[in-house]
Amino acid sequence: MPLANEYRLFFLHRQLIQCMQYWEDADYRQVAPRLDAFIEIAQSMDSRFFKMDIAKTEAGDWIIIEVGDGQVSTLPGGADPERFYQSIMEIGEN
């Protein structure tokens, strides 16, 4: 079964801090999603720290497949933890 073209977005204080490829073995050579609509949706979320998983449908549309608490969401396997936590610190300082 082919893996979905899926990304995990983390938001802190409604600001996007990281957008990561979700699957290590998926083919991400395609064009990455435009994030404007997802960032706009994040502005209405009543949460300080959350993640949003998005995926491309067979029809070619990008959809939200899950939103969850950021503190209990794992980083995808290919993520750079140091870069992730640095992003959190930078947003937290503002």
> Residues 22-78: pLDDT tens digits?
988 777 777 789 999 999 999 999 999 999 999 999 898 999 999 999 999 999 988
Whether pLDDT at 92 is above 90? no
Amino acid at 4: A
With beta carbons less than 8 A apart as the criterion, state whether 16 and 88 touch: no
Domains of the chain: 6-93 (3.30.470.20)
CA distance 6 to 16: 16
pTM above 0.85? yes
* Tens-place pLDDT, residues 2-18: 567 899 999 999 999 99
Per residue in 62-75, is it b (16+ CB within 10 Å) or e — as a string? Answer: beeeebeebeebee
DSSP 48: S
3-state DSSP assignment of residue 84? helix
pLDDT of residue 2: 58
pLDDT of residue 1: 46
